[in-house]
Amino acid sequence: MNEAMENPVGHVLDARYQVTRKIAEGGMATVYEATDVRLGRTVAIKIMHTQLAQGPHRDQFVQRFQREARSAAAIANPHIVQIYDTGEFEGLDYLVMEYVHGVNLRYEMSQQGVFTVRETLRIVGEVLDGLSAAHAVGVVHRDIKPENILLNDRGRVQITDFGLAKAASQATLATTGMLLGTAAYLAPEMIENNQALPQGDLYSVGIMAWEMLTGEVPFASDNPVTMVFKHVHEDIPPLTANRPSMPKAISDFVAHLTARQVAERPTDAAAALRELHALTTTLSPSELAYRIRGNGETATSVLPSDMASTTDSGMGEVPTQASPDETETQIVDATAADGETMTHQARQGNLRRIAIVSGAALLLAAMIGGGYAWWYFLGPGSYWTVPSADDVSCETEQNCSLKGADFTKYERALKVAGIPYTTTEQYSDDVAKGSVISSDPANVGDHVSKRNGTTMTIVVSKGVREATIPDDITDASSDNGKTPLATLQQLGFDNVTHDKERDQYSLDVPEGALLSIDPQPGTTLRHGDPITVTLSKGPMPVSMPNIVGESKEDALSSLNDAKLKVTTSEMYSDTVESGTVISASVKAGTQMHWGDAVNIVVSKGPEMVTIPDVRGKSESEAKQTLEALGLKVEITAPLGDLTQTVRLQDPAPGQQVRLRDTKGNATTVTLTVV
């Protein structure tokens, strides 16, 4: 290994990426900070470890690495670390990614210990939002864990390590060393069958939520074999099992994500996110503020009355202690003159007054400066307050979201308040077009920081998603018609019924193409409206019938019944009767399909010949004529052959005879010569 491969810091990759420092090292790759000298931006570069790139599975690993990298790059979601580029450095593949300023969730968990329900749901929701974008394009992360969840400077989630985890698991999952880092979060089907499913990512998210709420994973063991055995053979215990004060709705949601059977979990991250949103609206403020203490009870409590006398800053009132100089008795010399005594006292009094006034002025200035600093950096001067929407009403003491507010009207309120904002659009089944689906911050009265360029983000509804069934979806030769189910899914239809039991064989329609669809092509529907399809199973499999020895008519009938394409030819046969099948191009009993081609040969019977008249011809001429027809000639000369002229022949002239007998021997003509 050369120096550049061992330590790329200071090297420039592909004449573009100046590696500046090492950030972290994992089991599969090392991450470096670098500068994209072409665009002048900071990026993160992940370089694959040598043992993976040069191991026995190199080709397979690199191919999957690159393919998954392309898939991750195609995902557009603010909660996923973006892939900018890929390349190769000294034989090692690398990824160029977005550089995230912040920490990972593991660090945050080590700092906080446990999280409130509100904060847990926020982080889990953003993770699910990112995963839903990945699942929508067929990418499964496979390695969701706190180390791969980054929290940027604003506390927002960004998921990293897309693609590499899947490639690495394919190449090296069998090694125990590769399981150590992720065994606590692996789904049972991943461990048992190496299945990469969207539900596996949800299982890992559920384990992560379990850990955030309790401070520990449900199955903890130093032995990864023991840990994975528990995931495969035991159910994750519900959060309420040992923590009865845990909100039951939260326990049920986490249990749904971590169900041992794949079919019992949500279908994908989008479904789980919808479930989370519905759950959040049912929780009370006290349930959202719930946090586990060491003894399993909530840490949220009410202060006793004797502690209520606190200042606005949260600091309790503390009595001051007199200094020794102020409490110690001062003795004055009694022999001093009265004038000197009075002058000294006056001078001391003036100095004391000056000191008091100066101290008061300094204290006042400090209080004013400190108050302004608090107001500017921590108080109302440091944030905007999210205004309410006139067309949204909320119950008292409940979180009031902006969902359903007319954005055109609400936008005016934002402009009046001077709050910077950005908008995105999404389809929604329950929020009218032009109304707010969600916002960040989420609730009226929440704060938008005036620091670091923070903006409020608002998701505006595009209404219910609609699409039109393509006109050419029944044309099996079109792109839409070749894969009709995938076409409907890509268009957003999510209520397509395909009953395989109703599919039919077809001679003309290829397997997998449409036989029927309801509603008809060209119909515009909501994405959730029902669509029923029947697909072709392609040509039906049939067995080649035994037709050799049958009459031509019977053979054609059998082949037509099997819907086979037949061509016929004829030939003479000395052994097979005319009109009977001599042979077929496909052996009887062979597996075929409707429309397959078969050639059959039908007998014309024995070949016949008309005996010519060779009487009066010379022996040689007659013999040549008959042999040219394929006949055998026999010469007899009972009276001698003085003239060598044919006088008699048998068979007689004009008679039709077989050219050959049943054994294939030529027919004999006897000539009598005199």
Q: Which sequence positions are flagged as catalytic?
A: 143
Query: Which of these, 605, 603, 606, 602, lies nearest to 566 by C-alpha position?
Result: 602
Helix (H, G, I), strand (E, B) or coil at 122: helix
Say if strands 597-603 and 565-571 run parallel, antiparallel, or are unpaired: parallel
Distance (Å, rounded) from C-alpha 36 to C-alpha 45?
10
Query: Which of these, 265, 203, 210, lies nearest to 242 by C-alpha position?
Result: 210
Helix axes 58-73, 164-172, angle to 10 degrees: 160
User: Between the CA atoms of 629, 633, 638 and 643, what dihedral angle is there, to the nearest 10 degrees?
Assistant: 50
Give burial (CB, 10 Å; 0-12/13-18/19+) of 472: middle
Distance (Å, rounded) from C-alpha 572 to C-alpha 562?
28
Distance (Å, rounded) from C-alpha 604 to C-alpha 579?
6
Helix (H, G, I), strand (E, B) or coil at 316: strand
CA distances from 427 to 108, 220, 250, 291, 579 (A): 34, 41, 27, 34, 71
Task: Tell me if 166 sits within 8 A of 68, measured CB to CB.
Answer: yes
**Tokens of residue 293, six digits:** 């203490």
**Tokens of residue 72, six digits:** 């991750």
Query: Which of these, 75, 89, 73, lies nearest to 34 by C-alpha position?
Result: 89
Q: What is the DSSP string of 183-217?
A: GGG--HHHHHH----HHHHHHHHHHHHHHHHHSS-
Query: Which of these, 507, 423, 492, lies nearest to 461 by C-alpha position?
Result: 423
Task: Tell me if 579 sits within 8 A of 551, measured CB to CB.
Answer: yes
Helix (H, G, I), strand (E, B) or coil at 638: coil
Distance (Å, rounded) from C-alpha 204 to C-alpha 134?
15
Task: Tell me if 543 sits within 8 A of 571, measured CB to CB.
Answer: no
